[in-house]
Structure 1
Amino acid sequence: MHRRTALSVSAALLVAAPLLSACSGEPRPGTAAVVGGERITTSALQAQVNDVRAAQNRSGQAAAELIASTPHLERQRLDAILQSRIIDKMADTAGLTATQKDIEDERKTYADENGGNAQFEALLLQKGAMAPGQVDRFLRDRVLLTELTAKYGAGKLEEPARAAVKALHIEVNPRYGAWDAKEIKLGNGETPWITQRTRPEQPPAGA
């Protein structure tokens, strides 16, 4: 019951500026985003993207389909990173933690429900564009969301999520889209002051 609630809330969440911008007004080189005054570097983001692409390429006949289904992988992975930081902030404010045992227990539960650990990781790669090395972070988020739901109540995480977003002062390099504080997600970065001559890209689905 709690897991279903946590997963639905996570989908809904899918829930410093001086560091991001140089004097010229252009994004500071090497910065994908700034969260809580901490830089998320483009190299760190690219490392995650490379891990996913490597995992997709190991998928045999399904590789081409998996790659084709994630044309905006950089934005998708950055959004996942931002969502995790928001969840961390919410948990910290609420005094909640996720131990390694909690994460291991969560993995076992998901693995048992999905035909084993290999099948579970393959499902996350297919549905969430997550490499095996990124699964523990996913599981940590699930544990924390379950604890947050138990504390605040089902369907009542929006307010603490917005408080976390406000405290973190999220700024995103326009190369990766635009942070939508209202929707609590990374959007497609439309610029209304520029005439839109082509149909804008659709934002990727959340992880």
Structure 2
Amino acid sequence: MHRRRRTALVLSAAIAAAAPFLTACGSDAHPGAAAVVGGQRITVSQLENRVNEVRRAQRAAVPDETQYQQVLASTSSLTRDTLYNMVLDRVLHRAAQDAGITVTRKDVEATRAGYEQQLGGAKALQTAWLQKYGIAPERLDDNLRFQTEATKLAQLLGTDTSQPAFWKVLANASKELHVDLNPRYGAWDVQKSSRVDAKTPWVREVTSAGTQVSA
């Protein structure tokens, strides 16, 4: 399967029609946490830092103010999408560990070389990942490691990242890790390994030129 297609499938949340299978974490249980994965917190501060990295990269890439405002409007869900990717990274890593998969620096370099060849160079790869997936340039290597783990896991399973067999393994990892999202960012569907919006109409996301804040 084409690598760019696999990437889109892994990075894009599989929106679930069914109800999420978790208990949303409250501020009393996990103060300052955007999510708790395997007992380890992803803090609101860490999430905001990731979002700010993307916003700075977008600002540098789009100096025109009108165009930048259009970028902000088209990526209004960046905070929640970023948290999804941060959680999924840990879920995938657990699944890869359970399967005995390791990823070396050489593996990551090979993945990078493949994408650069497809897209036309290092700069084109950075631009594509920023525009399509909200990955800041300084996080590119981390994401390429993620992509490599996903590819290796799919190959071990004899499938690809679009197939139920792949996502079933991730669902098992989600269960092991007891993924728990702060309800302001939605909820985690274990079966789909996906973030879903919680039905909390009082929660709104405010987008500014510097960051996104969920109130």
Q: TM-score, normalised by structure 2?
A: 0.79
SS in 2 for 1:33: strand
Among candidates 176, 182, 191, match of residue 182 of structure 1: 191
**2:212 maps to what in 1?**
none
CA separation of 1:2 and 1:88: change in aligned 2, threshold 3 A: farther
CA distance in structure 2 between the aligned counterparts of 1:180 and 1:138, rounded to whole angstroms? 22
1:124-163 correspondence to structure 2 within 5 Å? 124-154=129-159, 155=163, 156-163=165-172
AA of the residue aligned to 1:188: D
| Percent of aligned pairs with the same amino acid | 35
Residues 65-85 of structure 1, C-alpha deviations (whole Å, 9 max, x = no match): 322211121111000001111
Which stretch shows the higher mean deviation, 178-187 or 166-175? 178-187
What displacement does 1:184 show? 1.6
What displacement does 1:14 show? 4.5
**1:45 maps to what in 2?**
47
CA contact (8 A) 2:92 2:149 kept: yes
What displacement does 1:28 show? 2.9
CA distance in structure 2 between the aligned counterparts of 1:178 and 1:116, rounded to whole angstroms? 37
**1:205 maps to what in 2?**
none
Would you say 1:94 and 2:108 are equivalent positions? no
**2:111 maps to what in 1?**
106
The alignment's C-alpha RMSD in Å is: 2.6
Would you say 1:84 and 2:93 are equivalent positions? no
CA distance in structure 2 between the aligned counterparts of 1:178 and 1:164, rounded to whole angstroms? 16
What displacement does 1:63 show? 2.8
What displacement does 1:27 show? 5.3
What displacement does 1:5 show? 6.9
CA distance in structure 2 between the aligned counterparts of 1:5 and 1:121, rounded to whole angstroms? 17
CA distance in structure 2 between the aligned counterparts of 1:120 and 1:102, rounded to whole angstroms? 17
1:45-84 correspondence to structure 2 within 5 Å? 45-59=47-61, 60-61=63-64, 62-84=67-89
CA contact (8 A) 1:32 1:173 kept: yes
**1:7 maps to what in 2?**
7
1:3-42 correspondence to structure 2 within 5 Å? 3=3, 6-7=6-7, 9-11=9-11, 14=14, 20-21=25-26, 26=28, 28-42=30-44
CA contact (8 A) 1:5 1:146 kept: no
Q: How many residues align?
A: 190
Residues 45-71 of structure 1, C-alpha deviations (whole Å, 9 max, x = no match): 111001000001001235333222111
What displacement does 1:2 show? 6.7
CA distance in structure 1 between the aligned counterparts of 2:72 and 2:6, rounded to whole angstroms? 28
CA contact (8 A) 2:13 2:195 kept: no
Q: Which runs of 5 or more residues in structure 1 are unaligned? A: 202-207
CA contact (8 A) 1:111 1:117 kept: yes
